[in-house]
Structure 1
Amino acid sequence: MLFVWILVFIFSLVLLIKSADWLIESGEKIGLAIKIPPFIIGVTIIAIGTSLPELASSLAAVIKGQTELVVANMIGSNIANILLIIGISSLFAKTLIVKRDLIDLDSPLLIAVTGIFLFVVWDKKIVLAEGLLLIAAFVVYLLYTIFQKRDKIKKPKLDIDKKGKQIDKKVFVFLVLGIVGLLVAANYTIDSMVKIAEIFKIPSSLIAVTALAIGTSLPELVVSAKAAFKKRYEIALGNIFGSNIFNILLVAGVPSLIKPLIVEESIFVVGVPFLVLATLIFVISGISKKIHFWEGLMYVLIYILFILNICGAV
Structure 2
Amino acid sequence: MLSVLLWGLIFVGSLAVLVKASDVFTDSAERIGVGFGISPFIIGVTIVAVGTSTPELVSSVLAVIKGSPEIVAGNVMGSNVTNIFLILGISAIVGKKMVTSYELANVDLPLFVGSALLLSLMVGDGAFTLPEALLCLACLLVYLLYAVSVERVAEEARDRTMEELEAAGVGHPKKRRLDPRVYLKLFLSVVFLYIGANYTVVSVVKLSEIVGIGTEIIAASAVALGTSLPELVVSVKAAAMNKPELAIGNIIGSNIFNALGIMGISALFGTVVIPETITAFVMPMMIVATLLYFVVIWEKEMTHWEGWMLVIFYAFFLGKLFALF
Q: Shift of residue 246 of structure 1? A: 0.7
Q: Shift of residue 152 of structure 1? A: 3.1
Contact in 2 for aligned 1:267/1:310 (Cα 8 Å) = no
When structure 1 is superposed on structure 2, of 193-202 and 204-213 the one drifting more is 193-202
The one of 48, 51, 64 equivalent to 1:46 is 48
The one of 176, 199, 224 equivalent to 1:188 is 199
Contact in 1 for aligned 2:102/2:245 (Cα 8 Å) = no
Task: Specify the SS of the correspondent of 1:196.
Answer: helix
Which one has the largest radius of gyration?
2
Distance across 2 between alignment mates of 1:84 and 1:182: 25
Question: What's the counterpart of residue 4 of structure 1?
Answer: 6
TM-score of the pair, normalised by structure 1: 0.93
Question: What's the counterpart of residue 200 of structure 1?
Answer: 211
Distance across 2 between alignment mates of 1:98 and 1:279: 18
The one of 284, 296, 300 equivalent to 1:289 is 300
Question: What's the counterpart of residue 212 of structure 1?
Answer: 223
- 1:215 alignment partner AA: G
Distance across 2 between alignment mates of 1:279 and 1:127: 23
Contact in 2 for aligned 1:98/1:291 (Cα 8 Å) = no
Question: What's the counterpart of residue 23 of structure 2?
Answer: 21
Question: What's the counterpart of residue 158 of structure 1?
Answer: none
Aligned-residue sequence identity (percent) comes to: 42
Question: What's the counterpart of residue 82 of structure 1?
Answer: 84
Q: Shift of residue 34 of structure 1? A: 2.0
CA deviation profile, 1:176-235 (whole Å, cap 9, x unmatched):
111001111100011111111111111111110000001111111111111111111111
Residues 163 and 92 (structure 1), Cα distance of their counterparts in 2 relative to 1, 3 Å cut: closer
- 2:35 alignment partner AA: A
Distance across 1 between alignment mates of 2:234 and 2:107: 21
Distance across 1 between alignment mates of 2:130 and 2:218: 26
Distance across 2 between alignment mates of 1:287 and 1:31: 35
Distance across 2 between alignment mates of 1:283 and 1:12: 34
Contact in 2 for aligned 1:98/1:289 (Cα 8 Å) = yes
TM-score of the pair, normalised by structure 2: 0.90
- 2:15 alignment partner AA: L
Counterparts of 1:245-264 in structure 2 under 5 Å? 245-264=256-275
Distance across 2 between alignment mates of 1:100 and 1:275: 24
Once superposed, what is the RMSD of the aligned Cα atoms? 1.8
Q: Shift of residue 146 of structure 1? A: 0.1
Question: What's the counterpart of residue 131 of structure 1?
Answer: 133
When structure 1 is superposed on structure 2, of 95-104 and 290-299 the one drifting more is 95-104
